[in-house]
């Protein structure tokens, strides 16, 4: 399970999708898929809209639905970029939009993965008050994946924000509970709890380092990633 945030896809653009980032992601995911790694992707929507940015008069639940629709735009663009690389894909959405994507059906998603198709999940969990990290953890548990890979703008989990503090220390390995007790903010508590309860290892890596998706998906020992053998599901 690869979780791509909307913010990561926007690259240096500040809004929307950076075609260069999208193409680079698609190329690397495509290489891993062609090597036999089963890849499922949950995309965020923060590059367009977040429910937490609801304003007075726009209720939170409605804002969250708008956020979920934003993730679907990213899902379609990612699908297109992957298909350009010759990778078979399917988009499944948690809110039905049959004209442009399949509805989320767990068994069908598994079948696609087994057939080597990359499955992209849009619309998060389909319910407001959740995040796409939680959606990714939920789908990861449902699909019984081997690893949850969280792409970020930094190399891993730090004790404080490395963008603000040059002395920030990166954790090489963490227990699930550390994320909560040390308030590490790598993902929200619901998501990390789901990973913990279902014993899904989480790998955090830098999306912008060339080759990193491939390394994480295919199991680089330095990243401590248990995925990567042929037939593994990520």
Count of beta carbons in the 10 Å neighbourhood of residue 189 = 14
**Rounded to the nearest whole angstrom, what is the least distance from the CB of residue 78 to ligand UDP in the complex?**
13
**Rounded to the nearest whole angstrom, what is the least distance from the CB of residue 49 to ligand UDP in the complex?**
7
Closest among 142, 146, 100 to 122, alpha carbons compared: 100
Residue of 11, 30, 124, 219 that binds ligand UDP (CB under 6 A): 124
Q: Which residues pair with 122 in a beta bridge?
A: 93
Please tell me whether residue 135 binds ligand UDP under the rule CB under 6 A.
Answer: yes
Please tell me whether residue 139 binds ligand UDP under the rule CB under 6 A.
Answer: no
**172 φ/ψ angles, rounded to the nearest 5 degrees:** -80, -40
**Rounded to the nearest whole angstrom, what is the least distance from the CB of residue 51 to ligand UDP in the complex?**
2
Handedness of CA 212, 10, 232, 189 (dihedral sign): positive
Strands 170-171 and 157-158: antiparallel
Residue of 92, 93, 125, 232 that binds ligand UDP (CB under 6 A): 125
**Rounded to the nearest whole angstrom, what is the least distance from the CB of residue 166 to ligand UDP in the complex?**
25
Residue of 11, 30, 51, 219 that binds ligand UDP (CB under 6 A): 51
> Considering only 61-69, 147-155, 189-197, 209-217, which stretch makes contact with ligand UDP by CB under 6 A?
61-69
> Considering only 60-68, 95-103, 145-153, 194-202, which stretch makes contact with ligand UDP by CB under 6 A?
60-68
Local structure of residue 119 (DSSP, 8 states): E
Distance of alpha carbon 139 from alpha carbon 194, whole angstroms: 10
Please tell me whether residue 44 binds ligand UDP under the rule CB under 6 A.
Answer: yes
Residue of 21, 24, 25, 68 that binds ligand UDP (CB under 6 A): 68
Residue of 29, 32, 33, 50 that binds ligand UDP (CB under 6 A): 50
Closest among 111, 115, 74, 80 to 93, alpha carbons compared: 74
44/228 with CB nearer ligand UDP: 44
Whether 162 contacts 220, CB under 8 Å: no
Residue 38, CB-side half-sphere exposure with 13 Å CA sphere: 17
Please tell me whether residue 5 binds ligand UDP under the rule CB under 6 A.
Answer: yes
Distance of alpha carbon 14 from alpha carbon 47, whole angstroms: 8
The residue count for binding ligand UDP (CB under 6 A) is: 22
Q: Which residues from 98-117 bind ligand UDP, rule CB under 6 A?
A: none
Distance of alpha carbon 116 from alpha carbon 37, whole angstroms: 8
Binding site for ligand UDP (CB under 6 A): 5-7, 44-46, 50-52, 64, 67-68, 70-71, 124-125, 127-128, 130-132, 135
């Amino acid at each position: 399970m690869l979780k791509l945030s909307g913010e990561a896809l926007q690259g240096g653009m500040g809004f929307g999708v950076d075609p260069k980032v999208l193409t680079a992601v698609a190329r690397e995911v495509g290489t891993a898929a062609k090597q036999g790694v089963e890849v499922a992707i949950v995309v965020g929507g923060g590059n367009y809209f977040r429910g937490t940015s609801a304003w007075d008069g726009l209720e939170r639940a409605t804002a969250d639905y708008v956020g979920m629709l934003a993730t679907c735009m990213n899902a379609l663009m990612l699908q297109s970029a992957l298909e350009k690389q010759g990778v078979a894909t399917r988009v499944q959405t948690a809110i039905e939009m049959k004209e442009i994507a399949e509805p989320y059906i767990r068994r069908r998603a598994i079948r696609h993965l087994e057939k080597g198709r990359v499955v992209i999940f849009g619309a998060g969990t389909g319910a407001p008050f959740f995040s796409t990290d939680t959606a990714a953890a939920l789908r990861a548990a449902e699909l019984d994946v081997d690893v949850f890979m969280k792409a970020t703008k930094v190399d891993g989990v730090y004790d404080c924000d490395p963008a603000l503090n040059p002395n920030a220390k990166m954790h090489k390995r963490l227990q699930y509970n550390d994320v909560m007790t040390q308030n590490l903010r790598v993902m929200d508590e619901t998501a990390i709890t789901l990973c913990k309860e279902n014993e899904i290892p989480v790998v955090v890596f830098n999306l912008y380092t060339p080759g990193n998706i491939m390394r994480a998906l295919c199991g680089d020992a330095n990243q401590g990633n248990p995925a990567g053998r042929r037939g593994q599901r990520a």
